[in-house]
Structure 1
Amino acid sequence: MKDHNKKTKWIERFKEDNDYRHLRFKQLDMGYGGYPPYELDSDLIDITTLEVFRYIERDRIPLFVGSQSGIYPKIDTIPGFFNGEKIIGVLAKSLLSGNIAGLTLYRISAKDKEFTYKEIIHYKNI
């Protein structure tokens, strides 16, 4: 395991979680508001097309970055994203300071048509 600094302490907590440490993340390759810059171990993330990003997979989940300006990419504008029950990750980051508060996993229900905050677990960065 890599030695993580104070910006990525949440990664250690995530990798220690027996329920979710098997997950990898999917980052959308472009569009829908893009991503603010962030740090993540390359062994945890795959850059994917829109089609793959929307797939419901057992071991890979979509990653978003939440900030004081909203969630990126713009989750409610991604065509076909609300296509069944899935887990997503939202990395909380301040665009002003660059600090990362942590990662939260949220559940999207099969009937959801827009994002609501159904928190499963939060991995703090302190």
Structure 2
Amino acid sequence: MTKLTLGSHPFLLGFDQLERLVERTAKAGNEGYPPYNIEQSSDHSYRITLAVAGFREEDLSITVEDRQLVIRGRQTEEEESRIFLHRGIAARQFQRSFVLAEGVEVGAAQLENGLLHVDLSRARPETVVQTITISKR
């Protein structure tokens, strides 16, 4: 018995990229740092909020690479002469990735009170009706 994958099912023509997208989403990094929320702002807009306390704007970068939103953070150690008796605040770099559906655009990003907000919007798809003519042989 052969295993049918999502992209090879006879009723799902042209969906082979969907299977690759699901695999890429699973590999996108499920590390728990930094914590984040995803909110639906309206029918066609979303907001991702990451808790990035201690990061400045220049420590953060946001890129879109092949329909994948990548948010990176890297803090620089400014004073090496500091002696910590207890260090409970993490000063580590991170990378958080989100796979974007086709038509989802990244809008504004803002940093406030230790939270990084990234706004996303989805364009409304146009309904297209196509008539195919039948030719005689």
Both proteins in one fold, TM over 0.5: no
* TM-score, scaled to structure 1: 0.28
* TM-score, scaled to structure 2: 0.27
